[in-house]
Copies of this chain bind each other. A is one copy, B any other.
Amino acid sequence: MNEKLLERLEAYEKTCFALGHAMGILSYDGNTSAPPKSAIVRGETMGELSRMSYELTTGPEAVKLLEDLEAAKDTLDPVTRRKAVLMRRIFDETDCIPVDEYVEYVKQREESEHVWKTAKQTNDFKLFEPYLQKMFDYARKFALYRAPDKDPYTTQLDSFEKGLTAEKCDKFFGDLKKRLVPIAAKAAEKSADIDVGPISVPFPVEKQKLLSDYLMDVIGLDKERCALGETEHPFTTDFSKYDVRITTHYYETMPAASMYSVIHEGGHALYELGIGDDIALGMLGSGVSMAIHESQSRFYENIVGRSEAFCELVLPKMKEIFSPLLDGVDVKTFWKMVTKVQPSLVRTEADEVTYCLHIMIRYELEKKMMSGELKAGDLPGEWNRLYKEYLGIDVPSDKEGVLQDVHWSEGLIGYFPSYAIGSAYGAQYLKEMGKEFDVWEAVRSGNIAKISAWLENKIWRHGKMIDPCELFESICGPLDANVFADYLEQKYI
């Protein structure tokens, strides 16, 4: 009897996968290749496909399948049992939202992202304001549909990181802030004299592309399964472990921007490429949560990529590619430049130390937006006020301020904390890894594969098999902001 059940599940997963795959490609294409006016029609198509997806996941066949799976629970293998759990979650998260509202949301989200692009380009917050408000309104409304008695922001956090609450976040950010503010101040003071001149001259974009290609090899990305594109805001998207896309952006006079984007997105990609073959194509076949995802990307970007050992590894090739631009630069100098700490405007270009202050600002703002304490129109002012308070800097334009990130325009509200938690997770991995082998020796000798194998075994291969907090704690024990602070202190002070 289970055989039939498994067949039904497989057919269900295949159709879900196809719709998700199609929507993912439409979105990726919209971000990389599509002409501007395609947005409206793409929104319509996304709406139609999400209607089909909605009907598929909440329709009578899905309900019957889910009931049958739950009834047969004790006889199911662990993978199938887990799938039933996730299917139930998806059903509960979807079925409570009226279908037309859901479809309308998907269309609006498509338009919102499109408008955000223009607004950022033209530094026109007013243009984006109503869309931004709408995205928050939807998030709040849907969160209340999903859990009428729960704080809506916690519901959002939970959707990105199962088990995360606003309370836990408050504690984490509270602990971190206490340590981070003095570390950042001292590190910035220590960095003040570092001259980044040698990496602030024009580095031809064509050569930066060669560097991207080289870095993909260094960190071990399989190019048969992973391709690099270009986009305004770098991101990673996966359709299966056989098809992962990373993107970067090139600024002529900031070669480090693309360099670290490639490594960051490469970390995301490695996670997806490392999903176990046994679960690759079904419901469990991608990363389990945003914080676990960011813990991979930020581990490769900062802990590996911004280590002195990594600079030692890649500088010779960089000198060759950009010759003669880096001729006079030695490893120590290069490392100092890419680890210079300095309060700055743009999150994605921020150094490893001040980065989490950028996140805290977004965390505060989105929490207040979700509670209704703030409206979209208040955001530019509040944003600028907090940048002054946390980072001591003035924001000269919304383009470099509240309009800089794509997330809110796409309805990704409650996502930002993942970056900080992911960063902290990374420091805890490093501590555990160090008990087993010399991490810096592995990096220095180009044996990044050793690090990747560790992460693959502990994390990647499991896909969505284990909930994120449980997965993390089974490797490192409880989340501890102090381990992360210790790591930063040791590296930067």
Contacts and interface: CB of A to CB of B under 8 A. Distances in A.
Interface of A: 14-15, 17-19, 21-23, 25-26, 28-29, 32-38, 40-42, 44-45, 47-49, 52, 206, 223-227, 229, 239-240, 242-245, 281
Contacts of A17: 44-45, 48
A38 B239 contact: yes
Contacts of A239: 38, 41
Given A22-B22, A28-B29, A38 B242 contact: yes
B29 A25 contact: yes
A59 to B, nearest CB: 14
Given A29-B29, A33-B32, A22 B38 contact: no
Contacts of A225: 35-38
A44 B226 contact: no
Contacts of A32: 33
A52 B35 CA distance: 28
Contact of A33 (B26, B33, B45, B47): B33
A41 B227 contact: no
Contacts of A36: 224-225
A25 B32 CA distance: 12
Contacts of A45: 17-18, 21-22
A22 B227 CA distance: 20
A408 B188 CA distance: 62
Contacts of A29: 25, 28-29, 33
B41 A224 contact: no
Given A25-B25, A45-B22, A35 B243 contact: yes
A17 B206 CA distance: 39
A42 B245 contact: no
24 contacts: A14-B44, A14-B48, A15-B48, A15-B52, A17-B48, A18-B44, A21-B41, A22-B23, A25-B25, A25-B26, A25-B29, A32-B33, A35-B223, A35-B225, A35-B242, A35-B243, A36-B225, A38-B225, A38-B239, A38-B243, A41-B239, A41-B240, A41-B281, A206-B206
A462 B38 CA distance: 21
A26 B23 CA distance: 10
Contacts of A242: 35, 37-38, 40-41
Contact of A37 (B19, B224, B229, B281): B224
B224 A35 contact: yes
**Which are the 3 A-B pairs with shortest beta-carbon distances?**
A18-B48, A38-B243, A22-B22
A207 to B, nearest CB: 12
Given A21-B45, A35-B242, A37-B243, 4 more contacts: A33-B245, A34-B227, A35-B227, A42-B243
A211 to B, nearest CB: 17
A52 B40 CA distance: 23
B33 A22 contact: no
Contacts of A52: 15, 52
Nearest to A227: B35
Contact of A18 (B15, B40, B49): B49
Nearest to A35: B227
A190 to B, nearest CB: 41
Contacts of A22: 22-23, 25-26, 45, 49
A17 B132 CA distance: 29
Most B CB within 10 A of own CB, among A26, A38, A52, A227: A38
Contacts of A47: 18
A243 B34 contact: yes
Given A38-B239, A41-B243, A239-B38, A229 B49 contact: no
A157 B22 CA distance: 31
A400 B260 CA distance: 41
Contacts of A33: 28-29, 32-33, 227, 229, 245
A219 to B, nearest CB: 16
A432 to B, nearest CB: 32
A28 B17 CA distance: 19
A281 B48 CA distance: 14
Most B CB within 10 A of own CB, among A14, A32, A242, A244: A242
A61 to B, nearest CB: 14
A434 to B, nearest CB: 34
Nearest to A11: B48
A40 B245 CA distance: 16
Contacts of A48: 14-15, 17-19
